[in-house]
Chains A and B, each alone.
Chain A
Amino acid sequence: MMITGQVEAPHTSVRQQDNSSEAFFTAVQAAFQNAERATGHTPERFYNIGGYTVRLRFAGSALVPRIIPALEHLATEPGPTPNLTIYLWDSSSTTTSMPSPPWNTEDYVTRGEIRGYSNGHIQTAFHIGPNILSLLNTKLNLGIFWIRDAAQVPYYESGAPLRTILHWWLNAHKRQLVHAAAVGTTNGGVLLAGKGGSGKSTTALNCINSELAYASDDYCLIAVAPQPYVYSLYNSAKVNADNTHRIPHLISAISNAESLGEEKALLFLNEHYPEKVLSGFPLRAVLLPRVTGKPQTKLTLASPMAGLRALAPSTIFQLSGAGERAFRMMSQLVKQVPCYNLELGTDIANIPEAIVRLLSKE
């Protein structure tokens, strides 16, 4: 059956929708428990994410290698009271089917959101394409991740796993996921903000060859109190296949070399350079990279509004449910730390030197 086009969904009262989303969450939770029993094997992993303990509980092992590599630099000791638990399972390896969606096909809207199924304490999203279902119950501090077949987890999801669930939960706990790269030292570092192609990923990866360490190339977490702070979320990096010549020192770390015809190069830096991956640092400045074609790298002061324009739209447009609270936190951030245009020169070694000089002043 081919579904195209949009049809107005029939009106449903808010209370009915609350009951529907809660009922669906309960049904999926029960399906996960069936999947656990079917496999008889429930590996768990614990991570310190944004200062909170997050437990991942898998039904079977099929999803483990697709999910954990990007998070391993944040691994922490198991504990009895994690702040957030996420159940993960797939139907194929657990031979357990998922209940049918209770919504209509015309209820799928942008950012993976489903009309009427994110309200009160339940958040629901289904991202068509990777075909991943994400659920969160904030009363239970319980998230659920489901995909039809673990083998179908796309490379970009492996590079930034559980982004939707983590964004929802952390956003309500004073941590905001942002679309930005981050480099620095334990004494302090910078965010690199800008849309795709601005040079932030390549800049972040080139800093690995310097005294700077790496916290992110695409997504990280920010806090604005008690001081502006960056938390690393993923130790992965993605580089366009035709740009890998810009990171010769990292070629051997590419995890999907055989797929570069269809995929970006995906690297898990913690596997090869764990000493160069930081879990976080105090934020000293927001940099807005721009390729200039000139030899030298220069920093020029930018306005807080320029920083917000570089950071907020690309963050908000990518995250299910992101709105005023996310916008407000990013706005607070650019008022707390200076913003600079990072005019990238062609002399690559010059780039981290410019950032180090800035950090020594800030």
Chain B
Amino acid sequence: MESTLSFRVNSPDVIQETIDGEVIIVNLGDGSYYSIDQVGADIWSLIEKGHTVDQIVGAINRAYVGSHEEVAQGVEQLVTQLQQEKLIVPSGAPQSNGQAELKPSLGQDDPNKTTFAEPELHKYTDMEDLLLLDPIHDVDEMGWPYVPEDA
């Protein structure tokens, strides 16, 4: 993955809310919704701010305990998943200059740092049928749809 790429949320189809470090994302395009927490939520917040993949890897590296390779792989994997699910799209030039940081910023050897764990994107499809396109229909002489009785 090109590390200088940045992304944006695929609005207006994709909307999201964050509560207590957990993100819920709703995709109005296909009736799916998702949750991400912990590391994944941090990565999502940095994507929203327009940071490049490189910048995000750097910020996660500074905030969590883990090897650079581990973190880079985890970030890239989540970004790829989010793209595949059409939740984010490339935004072109980065919207945010300079170093990306998560708050609060912890020192390299801070004992309060959490160990990096591979971020997980949980997908829920139990509401997809609410968004099914309308049934096959005929149209009357004025052009208004109706559903034939045998449909």
Binding site for B on A (CB under 8 A): 1-4, 97-101, 105, 108-112, 126-129, 131, 148, 195, 303-305, 308-309, 312-314, 316-318, 323-324, 327-328, 331, 334-335
Q: Which of B19, B124, B143 contacts A313 (CB 8 A)?
A: B124
Q: Determine the chain B residues whose CB is within 8 A of the CB of A101 once the complex forms.
A: 143-144
A66 to chain B, nearest CB (A): 17
Q: Do the beta carbons of B145 and A3 come within 8 Å of each other?
A: yes
Q: Determine the chain A residues whose CB is within 8 A of the CB of B22 once the complex forms.
A: 303, 305
| With contact pairs A108-B134, A129-B134, A312-B24 given, residues A305 and B127 touching in the complex (Cβ less than 8 Å) | no
**Which residue of chain B has its CB nearest to the CB of A308?**
B24
Q: Which of B28, B136, B142, B146 contacts A4 (CB 8 A)?
A: B136
CA distance A327 to B140 in the complex (A): 37
Known: A316-B15, A324-B15. 19 other contacts (CB 8 A): A2-B136, A100-B142, A109-B133, A110-B31, A127-B134, A128-B147, A129-B134, A131-B144, A131-B147, A195-B126, A305-B20, A305-B22, A308-B17, A309-B124, A312-B24, A312-B26, A318-B130, A324-B12, A327-B17
A303 to chain B, nearest CB (A): 7
Q: Which of B126, B143, B147 contacts A129 (CB 8 A)?
A: B147
Q: Do the beta carbons of A331 and B145 come within 8 Å of each other?
A: no
Q: Which of B19, B35, B138 contacts A331 (CB 8 A)?
A: B19
Q: Determine the chain B residues whose CB is within 8 A of the CB of A327 once the complex forms.
A: 15-17, 26
Count contacts between A and B, CB distance < 8 Å. 103
A198 to chain B, nearest CB (A): 11
B121 to chain A, nearest CB (A): 14
CA distance A129 to B132 in the complex (A): 12
CA distance A317 to B125 in the complex (A): 12
| With contact pairs A111-B131, A195-B126 given, residues A323 and B19 touching in the complex (Cβ less than 8 Å) | no
A89 to chain B, nearest CB (A): 14
Q: Determine the chain B residues whose CB is within 8 A of the CB of A111 once the complex forms.
A: 131
B135 to chain A, nearest CB (A): 6
CA distance A148 to B146 in the complex (A): 9
Q: Determine the chain A residues whose CB is within 8 A of the CB of B133 once the complex forms.
A: 108-110
Q: Which of B16, B137, B142, B143 contacts A128 (CB 8 A)?
A: B137
CA distance A244 to B16 in the complex (A): 38
Q: Do the beta carbons of B19 and A195 come within 8 Å of each other?
A: no
Q: Do the beta carbons of B145 and A108 come within 8 Å of each other?
A: yes
Q: Do the beta carbons of A131 and B146 come within 8 Å of each other?
A: yes
Q: Determine the chain B residues whose CB is within 8 A of the CB of A305 once the complex forms.
A: 19-20, 22, 24, 35
8 contacts between A and B (CB under 8 A): A3-B138, A101-B143, A127-B134, A128-B134, A129-B135, A131-B144, A317-B127, A318-B130
Q: Determine the chain A residues whose CB is within 8 A of the CB of B127 once the complex forms.
A: 195, 313-314, 317
Decide yes or no whether B1 CB sits under 8 A from chain A: no
Question: Could you give, for residues 19-53 of chain B, a 1 whenever the CB lies within 8 Å of some chain A CB and a 0 otherwise?
Answer: 11010101010010101000000000000000000
The residue among A101, A128, A328, A335 with the most chain B CB atoms within 10 A of its own CB is: A128
**Which residue of chain B has its CB nearest to the CB of A104?**
B143
The residue among B124, B135, B137 with the most chain A CB atoms within 10 A of its own CB is: B137
**Which residue of chain A has its CB nearest to the CB of B130?**
A317
The 4 residue pairs across chains A and B that have the minimum distance between CB atoms: A128-B134, A317-B130, A331-B17, A100-B143
Q: Do the beta carbons of A313 and B26 come within 8 Å of each other?
A: yes
Q: Do the beta carbons of B142 and A98 come within 8 Å of each other?
A: yes
Q: Which of B20, B124, B131 contacts A303 (CB 8 A)?
A: B20
**Which residue of chain B has its CB nearest to the CB of A332?**
B17
